[in-house]
Structures are given as C-alpha cells and as structure tokens.
Amino acid sequence: MRKVFFCNLLFLLSVFAVSCATAAKSDYESVRHNASDAFAGLEGKEDAFDEVGSGGEALFAAVLKGTGTGEDEKSAKNDALSQLANSIVADIVSKTVISQEERDGKYTESLRNDIVIRSNVSLKGVLFTKPVEKGGFVEVTAFMTRNSIENTITYLLKTMPEDIETLPPEKYDDVLTMIYLSYSLLYAVSDRQVPEREKYIVALSALKAEVEKLASYGSVYFQAGSDVKGEVVIDGKSYELNKKIFLKPANYKFEVKLDGYRNVSGSVNLLKGDKKFVEIPLVPELSGNFEIFLSVESPVGMSGDIEKALLDFGIVPTQKEELPHKVVIVVKTASVQVDGYERITVSVDINTFKNGEKFKIAHYDHKPFFVTAQNRDEKVKEESRKVALAVVKKFLSTIDLKAFFDVTE
C-alpha cells in the first residue's frame, strides 16, 4: 500500500519561504507585445487642426465629444473633458463585448470613476472648440477624431506594465481600466475609418482575457525538480508539475503523483491575485518498513507527532537503542522580556546516525513570536509542535533515505 505524505502546506509555506524565480510566467507579456505591435502602424498620425472655431467647422471629424461649462476657459475645458469621458463610459457600459459577468457588482461604478479619472490624463490629441460666452458662463466642446483615438489607444498599450505579475493584486483593476478604455475608444470608430479594426479588437480581447485571468484568479506553482516526472491532481483535473496553475479563488485539495517517489497530498487556499509557491518534498518510494531508534528531547510533548511523520515516510520509530539507524531530535525554546511581552524563539536540532557515525545533521531557528502571560503556555506548545514537525518533514524530504538505509535499486 502506497503511503501518502500529508504536509501542513500553509505552515510549510510560512516556515520555508522559497522564491519562485524560475516559475513559468503567464502569457501576458507576449500578448501585450502582440497588441502593441498591432497598433504600432497607427501611431504618430496628427490632425490638421489644433483648436477649431466656435462654429464647429471641424467638428465634422469628431468621433466622440463632450460639452462643458465653467466660470472661465480652464474650468470649462476640464468640464468638457469630464463630459467626454462620461460619453466614453456610456459607450463601455453599452458594449456587450465588455463582459463584467465575473466582476463584483460594484465594479461597474468604480470602473466609471476610474475611467473618468484616467481619461483626463490619458486621452491624447483631444481638441477643443473656441470658448463661447453663454449666460455668464464659458462653454467649450472637447472632441476626439479618429487619429486622436488611435494615438490614445497606442499610448495606453505602451504604458501598461511589462511584468504585470510583479504588481500587487489591487493594481490589476487599474490595468483592466486601461484596456476597457482602449476597447471603448476602438468601438467608437467605424470599420470604414479603420479597415483593420477587427484585428485590433482580437488583439485587445486576448490582452483583456489574460489580465482578467490574473485579476480574478489565484495561481499556485508546484516545484518538484526539472527531471522529476509526475502530475498534480486538483479536484479531479490533472496539471503539469513545474508550471503555474491558475484557479478561481477557493480552498483546494491536491495530490502530487511522482514517479519513483511517494505521493504528496495537501490543501491550498487561493484568494484573488494570490501567487502561491509549493516546493514538493521528494521522498523515495521505499519497499518494506525500516526501523529506526527515535529520541525526542523537548519541553513540549510531541513524540506522537514526530512518530507519525516518520511513519508517513515509511520509517518505523522504536526505542531499540541497538539499531544501526538513529535519529535524535532536540527542540529548545528561549525567551526574552520586551516591553511587557515575552519574546520566544524555537530552535530544532536533528542528528541522524548510521552504525554509530553521524549521517546528516540540521539546525533550524524559527522566527521569534511574542506571547502574554495569559496565552504563553498554549502558544509555546502550539508553535513548538508546528515548527518541529515542519522541520522534521523538511529534513526527511531532503535526506537520501536510500543511501541511509542502504537500499539498492
């Protein structure tokens, strides 16, 4: 019967933090470059006029427009920009292609606010009619032509972050806002005005899909060594090892099946934007049970937990001191008073012996934690057990058990 190693995943993640520098990137970077390249041919076109007359003799070229009023020309232009931005938002809400089915119901209003704010700083080549006095106020119309729309989209694509996965999750919505703004602007022009519009829509759709995946999902990366063969099974579906897996926020149970090694099971809780990394312990599939003398020295009772961990690795702990294989585990706690609190440090030493000779040793100091007089005993017991168990599992997953027990292939 194949034994399964049940790791305390969340604790292992906190105790043994490992960076995922080699993790596979998402497709965002290549998709962003494709979209940027698609629009590159539209960049740089300028309209033949800067400010048009009050009669609107150049408004015939307007694709989007908004009229604003104010006490002076500056405030009127700002209001006109806001009205122009509102017309863009109205366009976005009316486009079925901008699906918000997977978004929070409150997102529509925040999208409106984000786009209004971003429009005022991102719209390129906005033109204004000359200010007109009306009823004690100044009136100005802001409008965009095909060229200014194209230049704005190109600008938005160029200013999107190159490596979106380095952003904190809350920043993903900012990138989505830029894409939604680009979408609406593109839909404001006709197929006749931009003959290849469908090509650009496809490019934006791919970019939007990739960012929405990153914004709405969490990811987990299971690393088990580049030469290890196996698979990750999550909710009955199989995934590749050493590859980032995107999943909707939820708590998932997983099983990692490895050729020649024991299976690893556990659970992982993913939130929106999470980027979890799990290093899979490689425990050789040993045939038979191997007895070992176990000694646990600790102020906190934990022998039963350690024994179970050894059994999960196919190792039978006993008190037979005459055995050639021994493991000695020493758990210590030290404390210092700091401003009315007690600062506790847990250290773990593991020594393995084979025929009286030391085979491998390890020392680990856990990061300190603080306790009060009220929770001291319970907190020290809880943390000591968790730290010691995690260290033992980590140690056993790295030791060459076949060499230790003289197991031949």
Q: The domain spanning residue 299 has which CATH number?
A: 3.30.160.150
Average pLDDT over residues 5-26: 31
Are both 296 and 178 inside the same structural domain? Answer: no
Render pLDDT for 154-208 as a digit per residue (tens, 0 to 9): 777 777 777 766 666 667 767 777 777 787 777 777 777 777 777 777 777 777 7
The pTM assigned to this predicted structure is 0.44
225 domain-assigned: yes
Quick one: pLDDT at residue 40?
56
Q: Exposed/middle/buried for 186, CB within 10 Å: 0-12, 13-18, 19+?
A: buried
Domain end point (choices 189, 215, 241): 215
pLDDT exceeds cutoff 60 at 66: yes
189 domain-assigned: yes
Are both 150 and 50 inside the same structural domain? Answer: yes
Average pLDDT over residues 51-68: 64
Full DSSP string of 135-172: TTEEEEEEEE-HHHHHHHHHHHHHHS-S-GGGS-GGGH
pLDDT exceeds cutoff 70 at 400: yes
Quick one: pLDDT at residue 59?
60
What sign does the CA torsion over 218, 223, 226, 229 have? Answer: negative
Are both 271 and 394 inside the same structural domain? Answer: no
- Cβ neighbours around 161 below 10 Å, total: 16
Percent of the chain scored above 70 by pLDDT?
72
Quick one: pLDDT at residue 331?
94
Render pLDDT for 381-394 as a digit per residue (tens, 0 to 9): 999 999 998 888 88
Are both 200 and 312 inside the same structural domain? Answer: no
Render pLDDT for 240-256 as a digit per residue (tens, 0 to 9): 888 888 888 889 999 99
Are both 193 and 85 inside the same structural domain? Answer: yes
Quick one: pLDDT at residue 102?
39
Quick one: pLDDT at residue 14?
28
Choice among 207-216, 310-319, 332-341, 357-366 with the minimum mean pLDDT: 207-216
Quick one: pLDDT at residue 329?
94
Are both 77 and 211 inside the same structural domain? Answer: yes
Are both 235 and 296 inside the same structural domain? Answer: no
| Integer CA distances (angstroms), 292 to 100, 272, 318, in order | 59, 45, 6
Quick one: pLDDT at residue 117?
65
Number of domains in the chain: 3
Quick one: pLDDT at residue 37?
65
Percent of the chain scored above 90 by pLDDT?
19
Average pLDDT over residues 224-233: 83
Are both 204 and 222 inside the same structural domain? Answer: no
Of residues 102 and 118, more confidence is placed in 118
294 domain-assigned: yes
Domain end point (choices 185, 215, 245): 215
Are both 266 and 179 inside the same structural domain? Answer: no
Integer Cα distance of 278 and 224 in angstroms: 9
pLDDT exceeds cutoff 80 at 134: yes
Please provide the average confidence, as pLDDT, over all residues in the chain.
75
Are both 272 and 315 inside the same structural domain? Answer: no
| Integer CA distances (angstroms), 343 to 101, 192, 241, 379, 389, in order | 49, 72, 40, 11, 21
409 domain-assigned: no
Residue 348, amino acid = V
List the domain range (segments joined by +) for residue 69.
Answer: 28-215
| Integer CA distances (angstroms), 45 to 39, 40, 248, in order | 12, 11, 42
Are both 112 and 177 inside the same structural domain? Answer: yes
Are both 200 and 227 inside the same structural domain? Answer: no
Domain end point (choices 279, 299, 332): 279
